[in-house]
């Protein structure tokens, strides 16, 4: 058969001699991102940041790797979706970018993993240094930040997590199966004792014997499972917890994209100018109700500004947290739901067409509410919650003869009540700001939700490799640093970032002299 000549672009022969560049530096062009990673890490004061082995040891034995090289390797890895220590070890042997960055060093995976494990508490300091650098080159404005939280899967399978209710149900099912198998064994023993001369009797006895062996094996497995679950229950009783995870004890069951999974809750704040992440945290609480003030104050401290506007969603709504923000020079912008009573009522509101709390006008001078029918609701009592929150309760005796009674109280309650927090003026001012500046609230989803989508999809970092709250915080630090570095590289490019870093370093050295 005659072969036709192929009209394709063809590669060179594998036996052809080739001349490779003499210098390792020739393998990496001037715009390669590894040049910026190298320069940025070299500019850090790792001794001041507290990295292990950041000062050479005079003791005998094998020298340690320079923590700068190990940090460069991890920054490159998280920037290129290579987080595993084993994969990073492999890249050291085959990737020319990594070979250039590491100067042909190839530490084993245990050494690589130990560096991350031993320095997880220092990663946030590196992240803050990079945020400060981006602020110096005007990629961060520091006026408006958006907060958001998202669930990140923990290194703990669903089957290795137990709640009190789920554990009790599992034990009950095991006990039921054990009872059922025991009864069947007793029945089979009775059949096996029959004395018959039938030729089929031997076959029946053989089948019964096989079935009994199977049941005994199942019983042994069930008893082993029961012992393990009893041990889990004992740990629960000792710790007083309602939930326990066996692989990662600090992870928790959380709702994640419509599923119940074992997760951590990652928090971030994003600057409005170039969508740079300026602060982050990882918690094991299932919601964000206690995170508004801590995240906002930390963000303000990182940015080193006197005032900061913060926008977020209803998940962060918490009256005490809002007051804490205002007291610390932070101006929050939150949706009106849960704040003005238009959805939560603020009284006995029977259906959507009823009069919500937002229909009642408050007169500050007289300290009373006026209802839609013109009746005055006066202060009747002050309730104090366990947390010390004082709530003022207003009501009127005019409800009985009111024509709107059916729509306001539903006809079942004698009178309508309206509650007011003692610091409600702060909430009223917040609602006023939200109405006057709706664009800040509308910007929230564009600012805070997009980075989480990029991290989970493009970076493939929607799950943690490490275990324990302290370690996953360090791991999240690498992820946030990688995201910000990618944003900066996309906006300015490697060359401009290197020039900006060089100018900043010169100014710093000059100031020290």
**Taking the domains of the chain in order of start, what are their residue ranges?**
24-118, 144-151+253-338+431-488, 159-245, 357-415
Q: How many CB atoms within 10 Å of residue 426? A: 17
- pLDDT at residue 375 is higher than 90: yes
Tell me what percent of the residues of the chain surpass a pLDDT of 70. Answer: 90
To the nearest 10°, report the CA torsion of 246, 248, 253, 255: -140
CA dihedral 261, 266, 271, 277 (to 10 degrees): -100
Yes or no: say if 284 and 305 are a contact pair by the CB < 8 Å rule: no
Indicate the SS3 state at residue 344: coil
CB-based burial label for 323 (10 Å; 0-12, 13-18, 19+): middle
- Determine how many CB atoms are found less than 10 A away from the CB of residue 33: 21
Of the candidates 32, 167, 31, the residue with the CA atom closest to the CA atom of residue 96 = 32
What's the pLDDT score for residue 499? Answer: 96
pTM for this prediction: 0.85
Q: What pLDDT, in 10s, does the model give residues 404-429? A: 887 787 656 678 889 998 889 999 89
Cα separation of 78 and 486, whole Å? Answer: 10
Is residue 109 a contact partner of residue 89, using CB atoms and an 8 Å limit?
yes
pLDDT at res. 120: 95
Spatial CB neighbours of 202, under 8 Å, sequence gap ≥ 6: none
What CATH number belongs to 144-151+253-338+431-488?
3.30.420.10
Backbone angles phi, psi at 423, to 5 degrees: -110, 35
Predicted confidence (pLDDT) per residue in 291-349, tens digit: 999 999 999 999 999 999 999 999 999 988 999 999 999 999 998 877 765 433 334 44
What pLDDT shows up at residue 248?
95
Q: Are 123 and 250 in contact (CB under 8 A)?
A: no
Residue with tokens 């198998």: 181
* Rounded Cα distance, 450 and 458, in Å: 11
Instruction: Name the least confident of 20-29, 116-125, 236-245, 365-374.
Output: 20-29
CB atoms within 10 A of CB 44: 18
């Amino acid at each position: 058969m005659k072969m036709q000549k192929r009209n394709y672009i063809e590669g060179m022969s594998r036996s052809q001699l080739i001349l490779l560049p003499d210098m390792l530096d020739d393998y990496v062009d001037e715009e390669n991102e590894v040049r910026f990673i190298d320069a940025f890490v070299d500019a850090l004061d790792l001794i001041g940041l507290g990295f292990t082995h950041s000062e050479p040891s005079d003791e005998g034995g094998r020298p340690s790797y320079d923590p700068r090289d190990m940090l460069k390797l991890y920054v490159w890895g998280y920037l290129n979706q290579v987080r595993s220590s084993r994969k990073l070890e492999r890249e050291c042997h085959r990737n020319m970018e990594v070979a250039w960055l590491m100067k042909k060093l190839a530490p084993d995976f245990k050494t690589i993993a130990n560096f991350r494990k031993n320095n997880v508490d220092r990663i946030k300091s590196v992240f803050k240094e990079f945020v400060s650098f981006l602020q110096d080159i005007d990629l961060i404005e520091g006026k408006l930040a958006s907060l958001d939280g998202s669930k990140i899967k923990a290194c703990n399978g669903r089957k290795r997590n137990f709640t009190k209710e789920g554990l009790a149900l599992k034990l009950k099912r095991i006990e039921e199966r054990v009872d059922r198998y025991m009864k069947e064994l007793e029945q089979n023993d009775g059949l096996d004792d029959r004395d018959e001369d039938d030729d089929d009797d031997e076959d029946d006895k053989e089948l019964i014997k096989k079935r009994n062996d199977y049941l005994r094996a199942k019983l042994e497995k069930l008893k082993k499972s029961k012992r393990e679950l009893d041990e889990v229950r004992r740990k629960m009783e000792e710790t007083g917890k309602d939930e326990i995870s066996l692989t990662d004890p600090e992870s928790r069951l959380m709702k994640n994209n419509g599923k119940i999974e074992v997760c951590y809750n990652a928090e971030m704040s994003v600057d409005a100018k170039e969508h740079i992440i300026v602060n982050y945290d990882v918690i094991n609480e299932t919601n964000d109700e206690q995170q508004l003030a801590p995240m906002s104050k930390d963000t303000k401290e990182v940015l080193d500004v006197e005032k900061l506007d913060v926008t977020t969603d209803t998940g962060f709504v918490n009256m005490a947290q809002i007051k804490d923000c205002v007291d610390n020079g932070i101006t929050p912008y939150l949706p009106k739901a849960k704040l003005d009573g238009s959805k939560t009522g603020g009284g006995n509101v029977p259906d959507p067409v009823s009069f919500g709390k937002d229909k009642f006008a408050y007169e500050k001078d007289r300290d009373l509410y006026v209802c839609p029918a013109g009746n005055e609701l006066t202060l009747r009592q002050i309730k104090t919650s366990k947390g010390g929150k004082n709530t003022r309760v207003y009501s009127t005796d005019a409800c009985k003869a009111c024509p709107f009674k059916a729509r306001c109280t539903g006809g079942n309650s004698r009178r309508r009540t309206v509650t007011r927090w003692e610091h409600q003026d702060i909430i009223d001012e917040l609602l006023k700001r939200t109405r006057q500046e709706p664009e800040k609230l509308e910007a929230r989803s564009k600012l805070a939700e997009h980075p989480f989508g990029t991290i989970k999809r493009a970076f493939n970092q929607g799950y943690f490799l490490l275990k324990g709250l302290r370690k996953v915080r360090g791991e999240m630090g690498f992820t946030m640093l990688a995201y910000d570095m990618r944003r900066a590289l996309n906006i300015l490019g490697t060359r401009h970032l290197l020039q900006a870093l060089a100018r900043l370093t010169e100014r710093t050295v000059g100031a020290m002299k």
